[in-house]
Amino acid sequence: MRILLTGGSGFIGSHIALLLLERGFDVLILDSFINSSYNVIYRIENYLDNKKINSKLETVVGDIRNKKLLNNIFSDSIKEEKPIDAVIHLAGLKSVSDSLINPLHYWDVNVLGTLNLLLTMKEFECYSLIFSSSATIYGLSDTVPMAEDHKISPINPYGQTKVAIENMFHDLYNSNINFWKICSLRYFNPVGAHPSGLIGEDPIGNPNNLFPFLTQVAIGRQKLLKVFGDNWDTKDGSGIRDYIHIVDLAEGHLACIDYLNSKDACLEFINLGSGKGYSVFQIIRQFELSTGCQIPFSIQSRRDGDVAECYADISKARKLLGWTPLKSLDQICIDGWNWQMKNPNGYS
Ligand code: WQD
């Protein structure tokens, strides 16, 4: 099978690309590289050479808002007799705090970009799609763990764009062309790195997210970790989240491809998380235990857009995809630290 992987050079995309190629899929990455380094591609190519994996990796630098480019990608794939069998669509903006400052940019890239992709897929009769959605769409947690039928009420523009895209899927699936096969995977908090240390999380500028900030404190790039609030209504007052190893998350996409291949048509919304909630203080303690690093921190006020507690009920992914997360929080810390140690300045 040949997979078009949009946003394939990002943290999540690069781990999915590596796994797809290892499992014998050919991959075409489309990425604008505004949020990632082209060095990721060189790393993946070297990995394939060293492991003598002969799946094909091709890369196109471009923006999913460029409809002409998308058309060329699909038409060329047919001309060259290597049609795109399915799309894994990750390309998009993902920072909650940035989306609060620049919402229209998020609507443009995330929603218009996805609309362009769907129009092109329809035109070229490619109806298999896996989409990167997010637990952010649940907003304030009524109950935890959160199942897919949890109330959807995003509290930031980033989450709103994910809801808008999921609504497009509903309309599309209920239209007259009812052989779309769509899985919208709702990621919780992907963290860690490939055990090789070849690829990992390398945010541009100061990390917004906890885990990459924490590994940068450990390597000495950041002085101390700011804990955004210790007065949340949680067991130790710090925020609780569902941290899933990035390799477990990537495996969830492979399981999803098998699921789509087994269906004539489907539309499913599926949580991908570890199913466990850990507080910020628990993460700090585990990271120190697993790596021997000391993580100095200071307590700050709460961050806009944050919620107290959010972790997944993953029974649907287990049942429908036959998938379950295998890596522990200890493994997450070890692999995340291994990546940061081997790449103190990320890919640059
Ligand atoms: C985790 C916890 C913070 C940074 C975000 C997006 C979500 C998804 C994953 C895309 C919270 C605390 C954080 C720091 C801290 N991305 N924290 N100090 O906010 O749960 O989810 O990333 O889909 O959409 O919203 O992740 O890592 O930013 O925060 O104390 O420097 O760590 O308050 O409790 P979050 P996060």
Helix orientation angle between 329-342 and 280-291, rounded to the nearest 10 degrees: 60
Per-residue pLDDT of the chain (348 residues; tens, 9 = 90+): 999 999 999 999 999 999 999 999 999 999 999 999 999 999 999 999 999 999 999 999 999 999 999 999 999 999 999 999 999 999 999 998 899 999 999 999 999 999 999 999 999 999 999 999 999 999 988 789 999 999 999 999 999 999 999 999 999 999 977 789 999 999 999 999 999 999 999 999 999 999 999 999 999 999 999 999 999 999 999 999 999 999 999 999 999 999 999 999 999 999 999 999 999 999 999 999 999 999 999 999 999 878 899 999 999 999 999 999 999 999 999 999 999 999 999 998
Position of tokens 């699921």?
Answer: 259
How many whole angstroms separate alpha carbon 233 and alpha carbon 67?
Answer: 46
Considering only CA atoms, give the Rg of the chain: 19
The pairing of strands 240-241 and 278-279 is antiparallel
Distance 209 CA to ligand 1 centre (A): 5
How many whole angstroms separate alpha carbon 326 and alpha carbon 318?
Answer: 12
297 touches ligand 1 (CB under 6 Å): no
Residue closest to 246 by CA, chosen among 291, 204, 195, 321:
195
pTM of the model: 0.97
In this structure, the chain runs to a length of 348
Q: How many CB atoms lie within 10 A of CB 267?
A: 18
Domain 2-342, what architecture? 3-Layer(aba) Sandwich (3.40)
Residue type, 23: R
How many whole angstroms separate alpha carbon 314 and alpha carbon 291?
Answer: 28
Task: Catalogue the active-site residues.
Answer: 158
How many whole angstroms separate alpha carbon 124 and alpha carbon 343?
Answer: 41
The closest residue, in CA terms, to atom 36 on ligand 1 is 209
